[in-house]
Structure 1
Protein backbone atom coordinates (compact mmCIF):
# COMPACT_ATOMS: atom_id res chain seq x y z
CA UNK A 1 0.00 0.00 0.00
CA UNK A 2 2.91 2.30 0.70
CA UNK A 3 4.23 1.91 -2.86
CA UNK A 4 0.87 2.95 -4.31
CA UNK A 5 0.49 5.83 -1.86
CA UNK A 6 3.93 7.24 -2.68
CA UNK A 7 3.34 6.75 -6.42
CA UNK A 8 0.03 8.61 -6.22
CA UNK A 9 1.53 11.49 -4.26
CA UNK A 10 4.35 11.86 -6.79
CA UNK A 11 1.98 11.66 -9.78
CA UNK A 12 -0.54 14.01 -8.19
CA UNK A 13 1.96 16.66 -7.19
CA UNK A 14 3.78 16.56 -10.54
CA UNK A 15 0.47 16.90 -12.41
CA UNK A 16 -0.66 19.70 -10.11
CA UNK A 17 2.51 21.70 -10.60
CA UNK A 18 2.62 20.97 -14.34
CA UNK A 19 -1.02 21.68 -15.19
CA UNK A 20 -2.49 23.43 -12.16
CA UNK A 21 -5.83 21.69 -12.64
CA UNK A 22 -6.91 22.09 -9.01
CA UNK A 23 -7.40 25.60 -7.64
CA UNK A 24 -6.61 25.65 -3.92
CA UNK A 25 -8.65 28.07 -1.80
CA UNK A 26 -6.20 28.21 1.06
CA UNK A 27 -3.29 26.66 2.91
CA UNK A 28 -5.49 23.96 4.40
CA UNK A 29 -6.43 22.73 0.92
CA UNK A 30 -2.76 22.48 0.00
CA UNK A 31 -2.07 20.43 3.12
CA UNK A 32 -5.03 18.11 2.67
CA UNK A 33 -4.34 17.42 -1.03
CA UNK A 34 -1.29 15.15 -0.39
CA UNK A 35 -3.31 13.25 2.23
CA UNK A 36 -6.06 12.66 -0.30
CA UNK A 37 -3.43 11.45 -2.76
CA UNK A 38 -2.06 9.05 -0.12
CA UNK A 39 -5.50 7.53 0.38
CA UNK A 40 -6.09 7.34 -3.35
CA UNK A 41 -2.75 5.60 -3.86
CA UNK A 42 -3.61 3.08 -1.15
CA UNK A 43 -6.87 2.30 -2.96
CA UNK A 44 -5.04 1.88 -6.27
CA UNK A 45 -2.61 -0.51 -4.57
CA UNK A 46 -5.52 -2.68 -3.41
CA UNK A 47 -6.78 -2.72 -7.01
CA UNK A 48 -3.28 -3.71 -8.11
CA UNK A 49 -3.22 -6.54 -5.57
CA UNK A 50 -6.53 -7.79 -6.94
CA UNK A 51 -5.03 -7.91 -10.43
CA UNK A 52 -1.89 -9.60 -9.14
CA UNK A 53 -3.80 -12.39 -7.41
CA UNK A 54 -5.98 -12.80 -10.50
CA UNK A 55 -2.77 -13.14 -12.55
CA UNK A 56 -1.35 -15.73 -10.13
CA UNK A 57 -4.55 -17.75 -10.37
CA UNK A 58 -4.64 -17.46 -14.17
CA UNK A 59 -0.97 -18.45 -14.45
CA UNK A 60 -1.49 -21.43 -12.15
CA UNK A 61 -4.44 -22.63 -14.22
CA UNK A 62 -2.62 -21.95 -17.52
CA UNK A 63 0.37 -24.02 -16.46
CA UNK A 64 -1.99 -26.78 -15.32
CA UNK A 65 -4.08 -26.88 -18.49
CA UNK A 66 -1.49 -26.28 -21.22
CA UNK A 67 2.02 -27.49 -21.80
CA UNK A 68 4.52 -24.92 -20.54
CA UNK A 69 5.63 -23.88 -24.05
CA UNK A 70 2.03 -23.56 -25.24
CA UNK A 71 1.15 -21.41 -22.22
CA UNK A 72 4.13 -19.17 -22.95
CA UNK A 73 2.98 -18.68 -26.56
CA UNK A 74 -0.53 -17.87 -25.34
CA UNK A 75 0.89 -15.25 -22.96
CA UNK A 76 2.94 -13.68 -25.77
CA UNK A 77 -0.09 -13.47 -28.05
CA UNK A 78 -2.30 -12.00 -25.29
CA UNK A 79 0.38 -9.44 -24.41
CA UNK A 80 0.73 -8.31 -28.03
CA UNK A 81 -3.05 -8.14 -28.45
CA UNK A 82 -3.45 -6.07 -25.27
CA UNK A 83 -0.74 -3.65 -26.41
CA UNK A 84 -2.24 -3.39 -29.90
CA UNK A 85 -5.69 -2.79 -28.43
CA UNK A 86 -4.35 0.02 -26.26
CA UNK A 87 -2.25 1.68 -28.93
CA UNK A 88 -4.21 1.18 -32.16
CA UNK A 89 -7.53 -0.66 -31.97
CA UNK A 90 -9.10 1.90 -29.62
CA UNK A 91 -8.45 4.56 -32.24
CA UNK A 92 -9.12 2.77 -35.50
CA UNK A 93 -11.89 0.38 -34.47
CA UNK A 94 -13.33 1.98 -31.34
CA UNK A 95 -13.51 5.50 -32.72
CA UNK A 96 -11.33 7.12 -30.05
CA UNK A 97 -9.74 10.31 -31.33
CA UNK A 98 -6.52 10.49 -29.32
CA UNK A 99 -3.95 8.34 -31.15
CA UNK A 100 -0.97 10.32 -29.82
CA UNK A 101 -2.03 9.80 -26.20
CA UNK A 102 -2.70 6.09 -26.77
CA UNK A 103 0.71 5.63 -28.41
CA UNK A 104 2.45 7.51 -25.60
CA UNK A 105 0.66 5.48 -22.96
CA UNK A 106 1.36 2.19 -24.74
CA UNK A 107 5.05 3.00 -25.24
CA UNK A 108 5.34 4.08 -21.60
CA UNK A 109 3.81 0.83 -20.38
CA UNK A 110 6.00 -1.17 -22.78
CA UNK A 111 9.20 0.55 -21.62
CA UNK A 112 8.25 0.00 -17.98
CA UNK A 113 7.46 -3.66 -18.73
CA UNK A 114 10.83 -4.15 -20.45
CA UNK A 115 12.73 -2.61 -17.52
CA UNK A 116 10.82 -4.64 -14.92
CA UNK A 117 11.22 -7.83 -16.97
CA UNK A 118 14.96 -7.23 -17.31
CA UNK A 119 15.28 -6.78 -13.55
CA UNK A 120 13.15 -9.84 -12.81
CA UNK A 121 15.20 -12.05 -15.14
CA UNK A 122 18.39 -10.66 -13.62
CA UNK A 123 17.16 -11.40 -10.07
CA UNK A 124 15.82 -14.86 -10.89
CA UNK A 125 16.27 -16.65 -14.23
CA UNK A 126 15.28 -16.56 -17.89
CA UNK A 127 12.06 -18.50 -17.22
CA UNK A 128 10.60 -15.36 -15.64
CA UNK A 129 10.80 -13.41 -18.91
CA UNK A 130 7.45 -14.23 -20.51
CA UNK A 131 5.30 -14.35 -17.35
CA UNK A 132 6.70 -11.02 -16.14
CA UNK A 133 6.20 -9.36 -19.51
CA UNK A 134 2.66 -10.79 -19.67
CA UNK A 135 1.82 -9.45 -16.22
CA UNK A 136 3.30 -6.03 -16.81
CA UNK A 137 1.65 -5.63 -20.23
CA UNK A 138 -1.59 -7.58 -20.45
CA UNK A 139 -2.68 -7.45 -16.82
CA UNK A 140 -1.76 -3.78 -16.37
CA UNK A 141 -3.63 -2.82 -19.54
CA UNK A 142 -6.60 -4.87 -18.38
CA UNK A 143 -6.52 -3.04 -15.04
CA UNK A 144 -6.64 0.41 -16.67
CA UNK A 145 -9.53 -0.26 -19.05
CA UNK A 146 -11.99 1.41 -16.67
CA UNK A 147 -10.06 4.66 -16.48
CA UNK A 148 -9.47 4.66 -20.24
CA UNK A 149 -13.22 4.75 -20.76
CA UNK A 150 -13.34 8.06 -18.87
CA UNK A 151 -11.20 9.64 -21.57
CA UNK A 152 -9.42 12.13 -19.29
CA UNK A 153 -5.65 11.97 -19.63
CA UNK A 154 -4.95 13.31 -16.13
CA UNK A 155 -7.18 10.62 -14.62
CA UNK A 156 -5.24 8.00 -16.57
CA UNK A 157 -1.92 9.34 -15.28
CA UNK A 158 -3.29 9.41 -11.73
CA UNK A 159 -4.01 5.68 -11.90
CA UNK A 160 -1.25 4.39 -14.18
CA UNK A 161 1.73 5.70 -12.18
CA UNK A 162 0.82 4.09 -8.84
CA UNK A 163 -0.53 1.01 -10.63
CA UNK A 164 2.71 0.43 -12.55
CA UNK A 165 4.72 1.02 -9.37
CA UNK A 166 2.63 -1.49 -7.43
CA UNK A 167 2.66 -4.08 -10.21
CA UNK A 168 6.42 -3.74 -10.61
CA UNK A 169 6.96 -4.06 -6.86
CA UNK A 170 4.76 -7.14 -6.59
CA UNK A 171 6.29 -9.04 -9.50
CA UNK A 172 9.84 -8.13 -8.45
CA UNK A 173 9.30 -9.35 -4.88
CA UNK A 174 7.35 -12.51 -5.74
CA UNK A 175 10.43 -14.73 -5.82
CA UNK A 176 11.49 -13.46 -2.38
CA UNK A 177 8.11 -14.24 -0.89
CA UNK A 178 7.79 -17.72 -2.41
CA UNK A 179 11.33 -19.02 -1.91
CA UNK A 180 11.79 -21.79 0.62
CA UNK A 181 13.60 -20.90 3.79
CA UNK A 182 16.89 -22.73 4.12
CA UNK A 183 16.97 -25.14 7.02
CA UNK A 184 19.93 -24.85 9.31
Structure 2
Protein backbone atom coordinates (compact mmCIF):
# COMPACT_ATOMS: atom_id res chain seq x y z
CA UNK A 1 0.00 0.00 0.00
CA UNK A 2 1.30 3.44 -0.92
CA UNK A 3 2.27 5.88 1.80
CA UNK A 4 -0.55 8.17 0.67
CA UNK A 5 -3.13 5.57 1.63
CA UNK A 6 -1.39 4.85 4.96
CA UNK A 7 -1.64 8.56 5.73
CA UNK A 8 -5.32 8.57 4.75
CA UNK A 9 -5.99 5.59 7.02
CA UNK A 10 -4.06 7.23 9.86
CA UNK A 11 -5.83 10.59 9.57
CA UNK A 12 -9.30 9.08 9.14
CA UNK A 13 -8.76 6.87 12.19
CA UNK A 14 -7.66 9.93 14.16
CA UNK A 15 -10.90 11.64 13.17
CA UNK A 16 -12.97 8.60 14.14
CA UNK A 17 -11.30 8.49 17.55
CA UNK A 18 -11.76 12.20 18.19
CA UNK A 19 -15.41 12.32 17.16
CA UNK A 20 -16.29 9.12 19.01
CA UNK A 21 -14.63 10.31 22.21
CA UNK A 22 -16.46 13.64 21.98
CA UNK A 23 -19.82 11.92 21.69
CA UNK A 24 -19.15 9.19 24.27
CA UNK A 25 -17.67 11.69 26.74
CA UNK A 26 -20.82 13.80 26.72
CA UNK A 27 -23.08 10.74 26.96
CA UNK A 28 -21.22 9.18 29.89
CA UNK A 29 -21.13 12.44 31.85
CA UNK A 30 -24.44 13.86 30.72
CA UNK A 31 -25.43 14.47 34.34
CA UNK A 32 -22.51 16.90 34.69
CA UNK A 33 -22.83 18.54 31.28
CA UNK A 34 -26.58 18.84 30.71
CA UNK A 35 -26.74 22.20 32.54
CA UNK A 36 -24.32 23.60 29.97
CA UNK A 37 -26.71 22.67 27.18
CA UNK A 38 -29.75 23.93 29.07
CA UNK A 39 -28.07 27.33 29.53
CA UNK A 40 -26.45 27.08 26.09
CA UNK A 41 -22.97 27.89 27.39
CA UNK A 42 -21.25 27.67 24.00
CA UNK A 43 -17.73 28.51 25.16
CA UNK A 44 -17.78 25.92 27.94
CA UNK A 45 -19.30 23.27 25.65
CA UNK A 46 -16.65 23.91 22.98
CA UNK A 47 -13.82 23.80 25.53
CA UNK A 48 -15.03 20.46 26.91
CA UNK A 49 -15.59 19.12 23.39
CA UNK A 50 -12.06 20.18 22.41
CA UNK A 51 -10.63 18.38 25.43
CA UNK A 52 -12.67 15.23 24.72
CA UNK A 53 -11.64 15.35 21.05
CA UNK A 54 -7.97 15.69 22.03
CA UNK A 55 -8.18 12.71 24.39
CA UNK A 56 -9.86 10.80 21.57
CA UNK A 57 -6.88 11.51 19.33
CA UNK A 58 -4.64 9.90 21.97
CA UNK A 59 -6.94 6.87 22.12
CA UNK A 60 -6.80 6.67 18.33
CA UNK A 61 -2.99 6.69 18.31
CA UNK A 62 -2.98 3.89 20.93
CA UNK A 63 -5.42 1.96 18.75
CA UNK A 64 -3.28 2.41 15.65
CA UNK A 65 -0.11 1.33 17.45
CA UNK A 66 -1.94 -1.82 18.58
CA UNK A 67 -3.23 -2.47 15.08
CA UNK A 68 0.15 -2.28 13.39
CA UNK A 69 1.71 -4.33 16.21
CA UNK A 70 -0.97 -6.97 15.64
CA UNK A 71 -0.29 -7.09 11.90
CA UNK A 72 3.34 -7.91 12.73
CA UNK A 73 2.44 -10.43 15.44
CA UNK A 74 -0.05 -12.12 13.12
CA UNK A 75 2.66 -12.68 10.51
CA UNK A 76 5.03 -14.07 13.14
CA UNK A 77 2.25 -16.30 14.47
CA UNK A 78 1.55 -17.72 11.03
CA UNK A 79 5.25 -18.36 10.52
CA UNK A 80 5.87 -19.98 13.91
CA UNK A 81 2.64 -21.88 14.63
CA UNK A 82 1.50 -22.34 11.02
CA UNK A 83 -1.84 -24.22 11.00
CA UNK A 84 -2.03 -24.09 14.82
CA UNK A 85 -2.04 -20.27 14.92
CA UNK A 86 -5.84 -20.22 14.91
CA UNK A 87 -5.95 -22.53 17.94
CA UNK A 88 -3.34 -20.44 19.76
CA UNK A 89 -5.46 -17.34 19.17
CA UNK A 90 -8.58 -19.05 20.51
CA UNK A 91 -6.70 -20.08 23.69
CA UNK A 92 -5.47 -16.51 24.18
CA UNK A 93 -8.99 -15.15 23.63
CA UNK A 94 -10.37 -17.45 26.35
CA UNK A 95 -7.50 -16.55 28.69
CA UNK A 96 -8.02 -12.80 28.26
CA UNK A 97 -11.81 -13.03 28.72
CA UNK A 98 -11.27 -15.09 31.88
CA UNK A 99 -8.78 -12.49 33.16
CA UNK A 100 -11.23 -9.67 32.44
CA UNK A 101 -13.61 -11.28 34.88
CA UNK A 102 -11.47 -13.12 37.44
CA UNK A 103 -8.56 -10.73 38.02
CA UNK A 104 -10.68 -7.58 37.90
CA UNK A 105 -13.04 -9.17 40.42
CA UNK A 106 -10.17 -10.23 42.68
CA UNK A 107 -8.50 -6.81 42.63
CA UNK A 108 -11.46 -4.44 42.63
CA UNK A 109 -14.54 -6.17 44.03
CA UNK A 110 -15.80 -4.84 47.33
CA UNK A 111 -16.98 -7.10 50.12
CA UNK A 112 -19.85 -9.34 48.99
CA UNK A 113 -20.00 -7.63 45.58
CA UNK A 114 -21.48 -9.86 42.89
CA UNK A 115 -19.40 -10.87 39.90
CA UNK A 116 -22.26 -9.90 37.54
CA UNK A 117 -20.94 -6.48 36.51
CA UNK A 118 -17.53 -7.96 35.66
CA UNK A 119 -19.19 -10.67 33.58
CA UNK A 120 -21.26 -8.04 31.75
CA UNK A 121 -18.19 -6.00 30.78
CA UNK A 122 -16.39 -9.09 29.44
CA UNK A 123 -19.59 -10.18 27.70
CA UNK A 124 -19.92 -6.79 26.02
CA UNK A 125 -16.31 -6.94 24.78
CA UNK A 126 -16.93 -10.48 23.47
CA UNK A 127 -20.21 -9.63 21.69
CA UNK A 128 -18.77 -6.49 20.11
CA UNK A 129 -15.81 -8.54 18.85
CA UNK A 130 -18.12 -11.21 17.39
CA UNK A 131 -20.16 -8.62 15.51
CA UNK A 132 -17.06 -6.98 14.02
CA UNK A 133 -15.59 -10.39 13.15
CA UNK A 134 -18.77 -11.47 11.37
CA UNK A 135 -18.71 -8.30 9.28
CA UNK A 136 -15.02 -8.88 8.56
CA UNK A 137 -15.71 -12.49 7.48
CA UNK A 138 -18.53 -11.34 5.22
CA UNK A 139 -16.33 -8.69 3.62
CA UNK A 140 -13.28 -10.95 3.15
CA UNK A 141 -13.33 -14.69 3.90
CA UNK A 142 -14.11 -17.13 6.72
CA UNK A 143 -10.42 -17.44 7.69
CA UNK A 144 -10.54 -13.81 8.86
CA UNK A 145 -13.04 -14.56 11.65
CA UNK A 146 -10.73 -15.83 14.41
CA UNK A 147 -7.98 -13.23 13.79
CA UNK A 148 -10.64 -10.51 13.90
CA UNK A 149 -12.04 -11.80 17.21
CA UNK A 150 -8.49 -12.07 18.57
CA UNK A 151 -7.68 -8.50 17.58
CA UNK A 152 -10.94 -7.09 18.91
CA UNK A 153 -10.57 -8.85 22.28
CA UNK A 154 -6.90 -9.44 23.06
CA UNK A 155 -5.36 -6.37 21.45
CA UNK A 156 -8.21 -4.11 22.56
CA UNK A 157 -7.79 -5.29 26.15
CA UNK A 158 -4.04 -4.57 26.04
CA UNK A 159 -4.73 -1.07 24.69
CA UNK A 160 -7.41 -0.61 27.35
CA UNK A 161 -5.08 -1.57 30.21
CA UNK A 162 -4.45 1.98 31.58
CA UNK A 163 -8.17 2.41 32.29
CA UNK A 164 -8.44 -1.15 33.62
CA UNK A 165 -5.79 -0.34 36.22
CA UNK A 166 -7.68 2.74 37.41
CA UNK A 167 -11.04 0.90 37.31
CA UNK A 168 -13.11 4.08 37.41
CA UNK A 169 -16.38 3.25 35.63
CA UNK A 170 -16.74 6.33 33.43
CA UNK A 171 -13.07 6.14 32.37
CA UNK A 172 -13.39 2.41 31.64
CA UNK A 173 -16.04 3.00 28.99
CA UNK A 174 -14.73 6.40 27.89
CA UNK A 175 -11.51 4.70 26.81
CA UNK A 176 -12.95 1.34 25.75
CA UNK A 177 -15.62 2.43 23.29
CA UNK A 178 -13.46 4.80 21.17
CA UNK A 179 -10.68 2.19 21.06
CA UNK A 180 -13.16 -0.49 19.99
CA UNK A 181 -14.57 1.73 17.26
CA UNK A 182 -11.09 2.75 16.04
CA UNK A 183 -9.99 -0.89 16.02
CA UNK A 184 -13.11 -1.97 14.16
CA UNK A 185 -12.69 0.88 11.67
CA UNK A 186 -9.07 -0.07 10.91
CA UNK A 187 -9.86 -3.78 10.67
CA UNK A 188 -12.76 -3.26 8.28
CA UNK A 189 -11.31 -0.38 6.26
CA UNK A 190 -7.79 -1.70 5.65
CA UNK A 191 -8.86 -3.93 2.69
CA UNK A 192 -10.57 -0.93 1.10
CA UNK A 193 -7.39 1.12 1.36
CA UNK A 194 -5.41 -1.81 -0.03
CA UNK A 195 -7.78 -2.03 -2.99
CA UNK A 196 -7.06 1.66 -3.67
CA UNK A 197 -3.29 1.19 -3.57
CA UNK A 198 -3.01 2.11 -7.22
CA UNK A 199 -4.84 5.38 -6.71
- Residue 152 (str. 1) matches residue 136 (str. 2): no
Shift of 1:58: 0.5
Q: CA deviation at 1:180?
A: 7.8
Q: Select 1:130's aligned residue among 137, 146, 164.
A: 146
Aligned match of 1:177 in 177, 183, 193? Answer: 193
Q: Which runs of 5+ in 2 are unaligned?
A: 1-13
The structural deviation recorded for 1:12 is 0.6
1:102 is displaced (CA, Å) by: 2.1
Output one character per residue of 1:43-99: Cα deviation in whole Å (capped at 9) or x when no partner.
Answer: 1000000110111111011111121x21110000001111110022321xx332063
The SS at the match of 2:107 is coil
1:40 and 2:52 matched: no
CA deviation after TM superposition for structure 1 residue 36, in Å: 0.9
What is the aligned counterpart of 2:129 among 113, 117, 125?
113
- The alignment status of 1:29 with 2:27, answered yes or no, reads no
Partner of 2:23: 10
Q: Show structure 1 runs of 5+ residues with no match.
A: none
Give the equivalent residue in structure 2 for 1:88.
Answer: 102
The match for 1:141 is: 157
Deviation of the 1:181 alpha carbon: 5.8
Number of equivalenced pairs: 178
CA distance in 1, matches of 2:116, 2:17: 27
Deviation at 1:164, TM superposition (A): 0.4
1:78 matches 2:129: no
SS, match of residue 95 in structure 1: helix
**Separation in 2 of the partners of 1:165 and 1:29?**
27
